[in-house]
Structure 1
Amino acid sequence: MLDSVYAGLTGLSTFSKGLSNISNNVANLNTPGFKRTQTLFEDLFYNQQNLGGNGNNTSFTSGNGVDTAGTTVIFKQGELRQSGNDQDAAIDGNGLFILRDGDKTYYTRAGQFEFNSDGYLVAKATGGRVAVMSNTGTSLEDFNISDYRVNPPKITTLVKLSGNLSVNDVDNSHTISNVNAIDSNGQNQPLTLIFTNNSTVTPRSWLIEVKNQAGNVVANGEVRFQGDGSPLAGYEKFTFTYAPADASEQQITIDFGQPGTFSATTNFSSGTESTLSVQSTDGYAVGSLNKISYNDEGLIVLNYSNGQTANAKKLALAWFNFLPALNQQGGNLFVNDTDQLPIIGAAKSSVFGRISGGSIESSNVDLTQQFSDLIVTQRGYQASSQVVSAANEMMQQLLDLKGRR
């Protein structure tokens, strides 16, 4: 009967460990990127007794209880939720973010990131630096935002116009004011374009006068149109030299569109007023960084106050052929203590899933499943305690019989 007590005690000990595992899962119900663990049970060694007698070679086998064979991590996908923080990232599919702290490398599904005081992209919880792919895609780097805080200016070299210079314009002139002209210092030196109908001299001809902000004429030119109202070849562009004060000279081209097309500037007879305006310019002033986000490939996208967008590096991801071999370290971190080599790459390539920017992955703990396991564990513990109690009572009865002799 002592073996029954021992077997019952192993049940109490093992179910207690199972309860501890369930408690940890439930406690991390709201931990971003948390992966639940499952307790593995195994039976202990067996004793075999040969009963013999009467030519029978039968035996009696008795077990010695139960034990845990450890726990295994369940890497099931958690639900993705918007976090409201553009620097957060979640992986939809395979992949682990790579964090580096000195010579140590960690892996995580918790993509709660921020930029620290030194400008590095780090994990909020641990401060580990988030690894990104190098430009060659063959190595890992830390990402520092310091070099990307300012978007340098670009001088204006091209101004595209669209609209109609009406043949029937009652004023025989048309003015476009405040045409942006960014100089070599990144400053805007606005220009004014004045168009004067010159058809009395040359059919479908308009003279161009360019004035600076002070009202001084800096260039003169001409645009001509064909009979169908589209720009005339040789006159569809006007290029002039502009020399703003305290800035370098620059060449600016006024583009009226392709001859034979009507998607830009036209010279129709419709209306008594011209509608010509600026369609676009290629120059822009210096810009400051005002937003950082990720696309679905994990590319860091930078938005600037001058309306420009730039792409930086891609978040690096890792994957392993046997994930359960990774060891949990706390802080939503895993370490690779095995000899298996990680697969390194970017989102939407190889085995990797996509990145959802501004999101976090919720814990994959299923509360319903945990409560079901809790009931089974509790019943198992109660039953084991009953076995111990019953064995104890039987031994007490045996001792009582011996005492009566």
Structure 2
Amino acid sequence: MLRSFYSGVSGLKVNQAKLDVIGNNIANVGTTSFKSSRVRFKDMISQNVTESASPGTSLGGMNAKQVGLGVQISGIDTLVGQGTMQPTARDLDVAIDGEGYFVVAKGATTATASLVAGKLTGGSAGTEISYTRDGALIKDNLGNLVTSDGARVMGYALAGNVQSAAPQNASTSALVPLSIPDKITDLNGKVQNVTSFTIAKDGVISAVLADGSVSEVGQIAMATFSNPEGLKKTGDNLYQSTSNSGTAQVRSGIVNDEDKSSGYGDMLQKVLEMSNVDLSEQFTDMIIAERAFQASGKSITTGDEILQDLIGLKR
């Protein structure tokens, strides 16, 4: 049997996988904060026709003669580069300008995520912790801050402190679900309506009360990973940590009204991060993969024609 048959089949398989990845990238060109992927190939084992030989007294050295047996997928990488920032007019749209991720949880309403020396060690019983860069947030009818699919946004608890009061430090032991209440009791014991709110670059949510005073009601957490390309996509714009992504390192909360952390990026209110898919690059890769697929198929049909000619020689 001709070796070109097997090489051609392997070429069909890997280029089909590449077209699958390209198709997924193109389909998600409008997906908020989507990270595109790429496929890398590597050659398969080669068969030695003759071994190499070292120089001798009568002949010089000779290289080995090898026939390649095809191609295989070397890796499918997630490209975590930041997408373009698109301004919006919505208060609950938040983008991360940097390498950080939002921490979100599904499970009990009392869900918590434990922190040890800034590292996220897990969630409370029945809680599933995930990460996302999709900042199109929603406030439900109870005031909870959630994603479009209802996952609770996690952060640091800050008791409602009016600006003139002494600021409270963020908790260092756990993250909790955040909420933006409709009413807040001020320092004088008066219940006031929340008229608006802002989200600062450090993630602190400040509610503006009816009398113009400001109360900090929480701080959105931000996590980073030593290897973000190792995160596992789970759908719904969510990621989960893996053994190769490393443990989530959570940005420290405000301490005496000052953010002590750095290197995570800034949160931008009324902005959304768009997909990082480059359509011109994807179409170019698609043309190359399509031609490679056709060429691999042609090598199979050419091998078949050669076999037919060999059979014809017997007649």
Fold match, TM over 0.5? yes
Quote the offset at 1:112 in angstroms.
1.1
**2:169 is the alignment partner of 1:127:** no
Letter in 2 for 1:144: S
Correspondence for 1:229? none
Once the two structures are superposed, residues 243-284 of structure 1 have per-residue CA deviations (whole angstroms, 9 ceiling, x without a partner) of: xxxxxxxxxxxxxxxxxxxxxxxxxxxxxxxxxxxxxxxxxx
1:274-312 CA distance string (max 9 Å, x none) = xxxxxxxxxxxx531122220111110112232222112
Identify the range of structure 1 (335-344 vs 10-19) with the bigger mean alpha-carbon deviation.
Answer: 335-344
Residues 153, 287 of structure 1: 8 Å contact kept:
no
Aligned to 1:270: none
Q: Which whole-Å CA distance do the structure 2 matches of 1:341 and 1:74 have between them?
A: 20
- Paired position in structure 2 for 1:112: 136
Counterpart position of 1:77 = 82
Equivalent positions of 1:39-54 (< 5 A) are 39-50=39-50
Instruction: State the distance in 1 between where 2:222 and 2:26 align.
Output: 28
For the pair 1:28 / 2:28, whether they are aligned, the reply is: yes
Aligned match of 2:123: none
RMSD over equivalenced CA pairs, Å: 2.4
User: 1:223-242 alignment to 2 at 5 Å?
Assistant: none
1:64 and 2:98 correspond: no
Map of 1:379 onto structure 2: 291
| SS across alignment from 1:145 | coil
Partner of residue 12, structure 1? 12
Partner of residue 241, structure 2: 336
Return the TM-score normalized by structure 2. Answer: 0.80
The answer as to whether partners of 2:178 and 2:220 remain within 8 angstroms in 1 is no
Distance 1:297 1:359 in 2: 15
Stretches of structure 2 that go unaligned for 5 or more consecutive residues are 53-57, 108-126, 158-169, 254-258
In the TM superposition, residue 117 of structure 1 has moved relative to its aligned partner by 3.0
Contact 1:315/1:346 (8 A) holds in 2: no
Q: CA deviation at 1:388?
A: 1.2
For 2:307 and 2:51, how far apart are their aligned partners in 1?
24
Report deviation, 1:57.
Answer: 6.4
2:156 aligned partner, one-letter code: M
- How far the C-alpha of 1:145 sits from its partner, in A, is 2.8
Q: Which residue type is aligned with residue 130 of structure 2?
A: Y
**Aligned partners of 1:137, 1:60: CA distance in 2, in Å?**
63
Are the aligned partners of 2:102 and 2:221 in contact in 1 as well (CA < 8 Å)?
yes
1:323 counterpart residue number: 228
Q: Determine helix, strand or coil for the equivalent of 2:202.
A: coil
State the alpha-carbon separation in 1 of the partners of residues 101 and 40 from structure 2.
25
CA distance in 2, matches of 1:153, 1:57: 88
Look up the match of 1:401: 313
Asked if residue 390 in structure 1 is aligned to residue 296 in structure 2, the reply is: no
Cα 1:296–1:51, aligned 2, differ >3 Å: closer, same or farther? closer
Could you tell me which of 152, 173, 195 is aligned with 2:186? 152
User: Normalized against structure 1, the TM-score is what?
Assistant: 0.63
Q: Is contact 2:180–2:217 with CA below 8 Å preserved after alignment?
A: no
Once the two structures are superposed, residues 9-28 of structure 1 have per-residue CA deviations (whole angstroms, 9 ceiling, x without a partner) of 11111111100100000100
**Residue 344 of structure 1, CA deviation:** 0.5
* 8 Å Cα contact 1:320-1:341 kept in structure 2: yes
Stretch deviating more after TM superposition (131-140 or 10-19): 131-140
CA contact (8 A) 1:44 1:64 kept: yes
Q: How does 1:284-295 map to 2 (within 5 A)?
A: 286-295=191-200
1:302 aligned to 207, 227, 230, which one? 207
Report what 1:345 is aligned to: 251
How many residues align? The count is: 272
CA shift in 2, pair 1:341/1:51, >3 Å: closer
Instruction: Please say if residues 133 and 346 of structure 1, whose CA atoms lie closer than 8 Å, have aligned partners that are also in contact.
Output: no
Aligned to 2:55: none
CA contact (8 A) 1:133 1:345 kept: no
Q: Is the 8 A contact 2:199 2:269 kept in 1?
A: yes
Deviation at 1:139, TM superposition (A): 2.2
Give, as a single letter, the amino acid of the residue that structure 2 aligns with 1:131. Answer: M
Note the C-alpha offset of 1:346: 5.0
Counterparts of 2:271 and 2:240, CA distance in 1: 24
